[in-house]
């Protein structure tokens, strides 16, 4: 499996003295080779997929510690792509972050997820149902729905997830 990592995130993936890369490889029972910003992962299929998700999470702006949460089977990564001109992407990003980061914190607190915004992507890590609710909330904000509408929908999704 191959994953391309932005150049500014390669150092985070490698870690001091290769510790982060080695820790991911050991935890996922696979080998990880990094050449430039191309990452090659080899091993058993499921182990490779886990390591790939962790690498993608680090590439999308999460700390290695947060990305390692993906080792758990009940934790997942979701990535939402933003499209448009640089000004459009900046405006959309602002809707998701909110004034002083309030909107982003609200989503994270209500769902128990963590959100990283990098480039034209918004990445979310957390339990499956929580990620689903957070992703849907982010998508509503990107579509132009009001924050109040998105919060109500998110609360409804989270209440439904708790009753399952």
C-alpha span between 103 and 108 (Å, rounded): 9
In the chain, what are the domain boundaries?
2-71, 75-163
Sheet holding 38-43, edge to edge: 2-4, 38-43, 30-35
pLDDT(94) > 80 = yes
Q: Is the CB of residue 155 less than 8 Å from the CB of residue 138?
A: no
Question: What tens digit of pLDDT does each residue of 3-56 get?
Answer: 999 999 999 999 999 999 999 999 999 999 999 999 999 999 999 999 999 999
- C-alpha 36/C-alpha 4 separation (Å) is 9
Query: What CATH code is assigned to 75-163?
Result: 3.30.1370.10
Mean pLDDT of the chain: 94
The dihedral through the CA atoms of 67, 5, 108, 129 has a sign that is negative
Q: What is the mean pLDDT of residues 55-61?
A: 96
Q: What CATH number was assigned to the domain covering residues 2-71?
A: 3.30.1370.10
At residue 161 the predicted structure's pLDDT band, cuts being 50, 70 and 90, is confident
* The pTM of the whole model exceeds 0.85: yes
Beta pairing partners, 32: 41
């Amino acid at each position: 499996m191959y994953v391309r990592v932005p150049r500014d995130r390669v150092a985070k993936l490698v870690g001091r003295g290769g510790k982060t890369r080695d820790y991911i490889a050991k935890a996922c029972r696979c080998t990880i080779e990094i050449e430039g910003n191309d990452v090659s992962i080899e091993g058993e299929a499921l182990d490779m997929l886990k390591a790939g998700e962790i690498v993608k999470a680090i590439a999308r702006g999460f700390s290695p510690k947060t990305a390692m949460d993906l080792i758990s089977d009940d934790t997942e990564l979701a990535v939402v792509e933003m499209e448009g001109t640089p000004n459009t992407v900046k405006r959309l990003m602002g809707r998701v972050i909110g004034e002083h980061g309030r909107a982003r914190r609200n989503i994270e607190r209500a769902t128990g997820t963590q959100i990283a915004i990098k480039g034209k992507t918004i990445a979310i890590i957390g339990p499956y149902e929580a990620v689903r609710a957070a992703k849907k909330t982010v998508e509503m904000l990107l579509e132009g729905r009001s924050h109040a509408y998105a919060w109500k929908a998110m609360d409804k999704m989270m209440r439904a997830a708790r009753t399952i």
